[in-house]
Chains A and B, each alone.
Chain A
Amino acid sequence: MMDRSDSPHHQFTNRRGEAGQTRASTLRPDRIVAPPDAPEFDRDLADLPPEVRWRMWMRRIEAVLFASASPVSRENLARVVGPGASVDLLIEDLAADLAERPYDVARVSTGWVLRTKVAYAPVIRAAADVNGQGLHLSQFDIAVLAAIAYHQPITREGLKDIFGKDISRELIGRLAERDLIATGPRAPRRGAPYTFVTTDVFLVAFGIETLRDLPDREQLADAGLAAP
């Protein structure tokens, strides 16, 4: 369920996505899913004819994805449709439904998000205030994020070795605040320091499905774009 305090209008004002990205400032999926014991809506919709019911379920999934900034898992989506309904088929139909729309359903890691189509990137940049809700990260922040993505799980000490200088707690905090990174297993070293790993939100923000879609390190080095 969506947080009632969030009116549809409020969501609409939030709904400005840079192409290939989702709305960074909207609700997180864990906040839009009600505890399983308290459904305030009819999951089954048994009184509706099958086709209408199916469309209704599709709309619900679209609504949940619309309201969420990070990927929503199949398990969570299954809570808003009938117990027997296949989320995958519903998503497939929804994707077909959205073919003419400027946004589509993208599969990320183990969930889905709504994303504006890349073709609209210049249009969105020209007219929408995407900077206001962008990631607000400096180039160096992004470089550290990339280092974490490639070398995860990695400690601050490990990052220091890569960059030749201390990586501040604030920088790590900025990345963590945006849910781009999370804490991983402790490193087996004095003080058991945290390691950092990237999250699903990171994949969404950079429009990749898995970590394997990161540019190949060797190719980057060959092209002179990265230190070997």
Chain B
Amino acid sequence: MTAAPKPLSQVPTIARAPAWVSVANAHAPEDLAFHSGAALAHLHGVSVFDGLPQALWRARLALCAAESCVKLVGRQERAADLRDAVCLLRPGDHPGPAGAVFQQWTRAVSRPISDASLTRALPGLTADQIRVSLAGQGSGSPVARAAMVLQAVLTDAPQAETAALILADAALAKALGWDHVLPLLALGLKPRDLRQRDDDLRQACYRALVMAAGQAVGLAADLTRRAAHLRAVAPKLRAKGAEQAVALFLTRDALAPSILAKDLQAGMSDRAARRLCDRLVDLGAVRELTGRDSFRLYGV
């Protein structure tokens, strides 16, 4: 086995959906349904791609979803603030309104979809609501079902956008036969879309999914490339626990060296963790995400 990173050309890459899959090509309502179906089918293939770090992919999409949910409620925080809120949180402290949204999404995507896991992630909704939403009663396409879930939750509680979007994305994922929630509707729906009902809401969901699937595929391609590089440089790392650190980087959106040190079973000092992170940055395998000199956060 060679320790040298494979040249980019040898790493299998994820192909984009055909260019004709686009909202711009949809003129009639049924066109939108067709395009979203095509986009989701392509996304399904991408989601099982061999080199894709799935947990990391979901975690990053969760960050994007949390950012759009925070924007939706008119808050100023952006992705970097959400990361800070969660990474700099100490036990017993409150994540703040924006951090709480990110935590909710992270919880929702990190465990396989089940009534129990979503009940934990969505304390504002009832167990019945979650069970019924996931059971996907009635006929209709997965998207139509997700739109129904969205509408049902928002009718009950118009201010529960985050919970509604998580549950709708869960219902969609379940209907598509996926194990985990993949944040999609949350990425693509606009604030005014959430005020739509019935047919209009379903159309908005089709449109949102074409866009979100494109975004998710782009991210998957990017992360697959970066993950391949990280895996390739992993054998060069001499630090104890480096292997496990690499595994953590392939599942988490961002890590502070102190969190990395704490989460490694092998045990590592904060200093050693910081050195390992710097080494990974030197090797081009992870990035420092904040641009700060202190309280740095690292991620693929």
Are A73 and B123 touching (Cβ within 8 A)? yes
Residues in chain B near residue A210, CB distance under 8 A: 159
Partner of A153 from the list B73, B96, B290 (CB cut-off 8 Å) is: B96
CA distance A193 to B294 in the complex (A): 13
18 contacts between A and B (CB under 8 A): A86-B128, A88-B128, A110-B124, A152-B96, A184-B94, A185-B86, A185-B88, A185-B90, A185-B96, A185-B99, A186-B89, A186-B93, A188-B84, A188-B88, A190-B294, A194-B93, A210-B159, A212-B159
Assess the B295–A183 pair: CB atoms within 8 A.
Answer: no
A188-B294, A188-B295, A192-B295 known; A197+B90 contact, CB < 8 A: no
Interface string of B38-56 (1 = CB under 8 A from A): 0000000000000000000
B7 touches A (CB below 8 Å): no
Residues 171-201 of chain A, each 1 if its beta carbon lies under 8 Å from chain B, else 0: 0000000000011111111101011010100
* Interface membership of chain A positions 40-72, coded 1 if the CB is closer than 8 angstroms to chain B and 0 otherwise: 000000000000000000000000000000000
Given the complex of chains A and B, what is the CA–CA distance between A184 and B290 in angstroms?
19
Instruction: State which residues 228-250 of B face A: CB under 8 Å.
Output: none
The main secondary structure of chain A at its interface with chain B is mixed
A189 contacts across to B, CB distance below 8 A = 295
Query: Taking the nearest CB of chain A, how far is it from the CB of B43, in angstroms?
Result: 32
Count of chain A residues with a beta carbon within 8 Å of a chain B beta carbon: 27
Q: A86-B128, A188-B88, A212-B159 are in contact. Are A75 and B93 (CB under 8 A)?
A: no
Q: Which of B86, B94, B97, B292 has the most CB of A within 10 A?
A: B94
- Inter-chain CA distance A182–B92, complex, in Å, is 10
What would 15 more interface pairs be, CB under 8 Å, given A110-B123, A186-B90?
Answer: A73-B123, A74-B126, A75-B123, A182-B94, A184-B85, A184-B93, A184-B96, A185-B87, A185-B88, A186-B88, A188-B295, A192-B295, A194-B93, A197-B94, A197-B95
Secondary structure type dominating chain B contacts: loop
The closest CB in chain B to the CB of A149 belongs to: B97
Confirm or deny: A137 has a beta carbon within 8 angstroms of a beta carbon on chain B.
no
Chain A residues whose CB sits within 8 angstroms of the CB of B94 once the complex forms: 182-184, 197, 199
Binding site for B on A (CB under 8 A): 73-75, 86-88, 110, 152-153, 182-190, 192, 194-195, 197, 199, 209-212
CB distance from B96 to the nearest CB of A (A): 4
Question: Does B95 lie within 8 Å of A188, measured CB to CB?
Answer: no
Task: Indicate if the CB atoms of A212 and B73 lie closer than 8 Å.
Answer: yes
Pick the contact of B95: A86, A184, A211 (CB < 8 A): A184
CB neighbours of B88 from chain A (8 A): 185-188, 192
- Contact: A184 with B295, CB < 8 Å? no
B96, A197: Cβ atoms closer than 8 Å: yes
Q: Which residues of B contact A183 (CB under 8 A)?
A: 92-94
Of residues A75, A152, A185, A210, which shows the largest number of chain B Cβ atoms within 10 Å of its Cβ?
A185
Q: Does B18 have its Cβ within 8 Å of any Cβ on chain A? A: no
Shortest C-beta distance, A138 to chain B (Å), equals: 24
> What A residues does B126 contact at CB under 8 A?
74, 86-88
